[in-house]
Structure 1
Amino acid sequence: MAGNRDGVRRVAPRVTLALSVLDLVPVRAGQSSAQAVAASIALARRADELGCTRYWFAEHHNMPAVASTAPPVLIAAVAASTSRIRVGSGGVMLPNHAPFTVAEQFAALEALAPGRIDLGVGRAPGSDPVITALLRSSGPTSEVDRFEANLRDIEAIVGEGAVLSLDTADGLREYEVKATPAAASTPTMWLLGSSDYSAHLAARLGLPYVFAHHFSGEGTERALEIYRREFRASEALDAPRTFLTLNVVAADTASEAEARAQPALQNMARMRTGKPLRVLDTVEAAAREELDVASRHVIDLMRERWIIDAADEAAARVRRLAEQFGVDEVMVSPGAGARESEPLDRVPGRERTLELLAERLLA
């Protein structure tokens, strides 16, 4: 609170946060991929209506409960179904793809929705070694040790273009490469990471940066401090730019939020304890699940990092974390599960999480 000359103490106005969404396109029991994608498109439309800033799709492969295998395809669908929200990848896992392919895809997306496309890029493969090998089997791809060079290539190709020197029978020739022939605008590139490496690199290249706080919950403060301290201005960005990622389940009551969170928590516990993965259970099936000690321990640890609560308390915790890490934007992965009676082509629990947060954070 602050005082004035009359001695009256006034409450300082709350800082409005930007609210964004990270989507893995979850698949639940009885749901087809088509229905899961339809549900995510409906969620994106609702995020657009609520005034959210951006909607990103993560790249994951060969996971029964995750349908976000092809972010560019999903981005195109959502961009065509919304009017103002930014749409992007959170992220494209660059070791799986040729940089030129990524550049062309996102240049095309930028042409589809000018000024609304984000290209978030990560260094991890996003899958197991077998799937990674399959992704790379059809041609030359981007290896982890070439990550920085590939970032620079993509940035050049989607922008002013790049000039390659080719050794031909007639000697060296210059060859111009550009993603689209007459681009009026370019996607915004973001560097994503879960280690100090990504923080150092984003700072050196002058790129916007996001640390995967929702994934590990550890090292965020250090990574952001490195990024802000070492940041070098670039043509793309004159000051550090970042936001916070969180797993959030908000509901009208704390008990409803807890019940809605269980399907995703239990599925994560299966993955981290080496159990077979499957599609997400419904809320009712998750309530009947008998968990072993190892799974309970994993869930307890995750619950410390997730925000699972009634609306007011959940929004307050989001705001406190944003203040703690010095950000004015929060990207939430809404992890609310579905009840058996709910439609297969909608995600009412996830929609409600966004509605409750938007009412309290965007007002």
Structure 2
Amino acid sequence: MLLSLLDRSRTRSGRSDAEALQATVRRARRAEELGLHRFWVAEHHAVPGVVGSAPTVTMAAVAAATSRVRVGTAGVMLPNHSPFVVAEQLATLVALHPGRVDVGVGRSLGFTAPVRRALGTASADGFEDRLGELLDWLHGRGPVTVRPRVPAPPVWLLATGSGLATAARFGLPVVVGGSLLADPAALQRYRERTRHARVTLALDVLLARDEAAARRELLPQAVALARSRSRGEFGPLLPPQEAQRADLTGRERADVERTLAQTVHGDEETVAARLADLVHRTGAVELLVSATPFAEDAEAENDTRVARLVARLRTGG
């Protein structure tokens, strides 16, 4: 079982956007020191709480600051970009950092209507055509040649239920999370249709001395997500004590609880049992962990604890 990190360049209350990106690079260095397999970044636009708006640029910064860990995206949102330009950017990264570049692609649109207008993306219609075009460019099958000419990097699909069918049609590995983790039948259908099936689980994992302590660390991101869904405001992470006092509607509080229920958190034995069960039920070969505590030192401690736990599970300890 491989362990990787997804960092969304989350902003924190009282800190600047620039500090969030700098923290992403520091986290990548720590991930490499811990011996993690991949370090992936994300794509969000005009969101105060998430400032990773240019994933290939962030990948370049991360790759330049490290030397061994694989660098990728979860993901590049194809409705927002020309597949040819994405292929050129990825080829440039491969030329500069051979053997270390991955790409996860998704179909999400901008967070709000004004963002979608700014991006020029009204819908995700035609996603499969764009995906096929990207793969053609990367593998040298386009009407012109992408430069620099380099081997195509591995491509993953960020998959929902319908996304699994798309991945099967293109023969791509998948990154899955959320409700799909409770639907092994859907994953089995994907495997039956895909010659080289491969599943990566994306989930929030938080290790602490007990469940209450882990919940406190996860609460800021759960509150931010609940507010974003009901108010259209995805703000910076609050300190845990402020998140506990946050003025939420009943609907938002229910949303917080649903979000926390989808995480894996608690003490080491609880988390180990949950992870082992998820891996067994889904047949995943990789964990892509994405929890973001408010304090950077708490984030670093959690990354270290999770790395040690997965190493223990890997050896059957």
Per the normalisation by structure 1, the TM-score is 0.80
Q: Return 5+ residue gaps in structure 1 as ranges.
A: 1-16, 164-176, 234-238, 339-346
Cα distance between partner residues in 1 of 2:273 and 2:5 = 18
Alpha-carbon displacement from aligned partner over 1:87-123 (angstroms, at most 9, x marks no partner): 1110111000011111101111111211111111112
Alpha-carbon displacement from aligned partner over 1:217-255 (angstroms, at most 9, x marks no partner): 566424312211111x4xxxxx21121111122224433
Post-superposition offset of 1:29: 0.7
Q: 1:194 aligns with which of 160, 163, 177?
A: 160
Q: 2:25 aligns with which of 37, 41, 64?
A: 41
Matching residue of 2:91 = 107
* Residues 1:310 and 1:31: Cα distance change in structure 2 (over 3 Å): same
Alpha-carbon displacement from aligned partner over 1:257-290 (angstroms, at most 9, x marks no partner): 2211111111111122226442111123223324
- Residues 1:149 and 2:129 aligned together: yes
Cα distance between partner residues in 2 of 1:279 and 1:310 = 27
1:53-64 alignment runs, 5 A limit = 53-64=37-48
* More strand as a share of residues: 1
Contact 1:217–1:305 (CA under 8 A) maintained in structure 2: no
* Residues 1:35 and 1:295: Cα distance change in structure 2 (over 3 Å): same
Matched residue of 2:272: which SS?
helix
* Residues 1:244 and 1:218: Cα distance change in structure 2 (over 3 Å): closer
Matched residue of 2:51: which SS?
coil
Matching residue of 1:361 = 310
Cα distance between partner residues in 2 of 1:142 and 1:240 = 32
Contact 1:123–1:193 (CA under 8 A) maintained in structure 2: no
- Residues 1:229 and 2:229 aligned together: no
Q: 1:248 aligns with which of 198, 202, 205?
A: 205
1:63-212 alignment runs, 5 A limit = 63-136=47-120, 144-163=124-143, 177-183=144-150, 185-196=151-162, 198-211=163-176
1:231-310 alignment runs, 5 A limit = 231=194, 233=195, 239-274=196-231, 276-310=233-267
Per the normalisation by structure 2, the TM-score is 0.91
Post-superposition offset of 1:143: 6.4
One-letter identity of the residue aligned with 1:162: G
Identity of aligned residues (%): 37
* Alignment coverage as a number of residue pairs: 312
Cα distance between partner residues in 1 of 2:53 and 2:80 = 12
Contact 1:56–1:88 (CA under 8 A) maintained in structure 2: yes
Alpha-carbon displacement from aligned partner over 1:118-171 (angstroms, at most 9, x marks no partner): 1111122142232122112xxxx89633222222221121222412xxxxxxxx
Matched residue of 1:190: which SS?
strand
* More helix as a share of residues: 2
Matching residue of 2:275 = 318
Cα distance between partner residues in 2 of 1:151 and 1:142 = 17
Instruction: Kindly report the root-mean-square deviation, in angstroms, between the aligned alpha carbons of the 2 structures.
Output: 2.0
One-letter identity of the residue aligned with 1:296: R
* Residues 1:61 and 1:222: Cα distance change in structure 2 (over 3 Å): farther
* Residues 1:65 and 1:243: Cα distance change in structure 2 (over 3 Å): same
Contact 2:83–2:130 (CA under 8 A) maintained in structure 1: yes
Cα distance between partner residues in 1 of 2:264 and 2:20 = 24
* Residues 1:190 and 1:337: Cα distance change in structure 2 (over 3 Å): same
Matched residue of 2:172: which SS?
coil
Contact 1:158–1:178 (CA under 8 A) maintained in structure 2: no
Cα distance between partner residues in 2 of 1:220 and 1:111 = 39
Alpha-carbon displacement from aligned partner over 1:37-57 (angstroms, at most 9, x marks no partner): 111111111111111111111
One-letter identity of the residue aligned with 1:62: A
Cα distance between partner residues in 2 of 1:293 and 1:149 = 42
* Residues 1:348 and 1:253: Cα distance change in structure 2 (over 3 Å): farther
* Residues 1:358 and 1:219: Cα distance change in structure 2 (over 3 Å): closer
One-letter identity of the residue aligned with 1:46: R
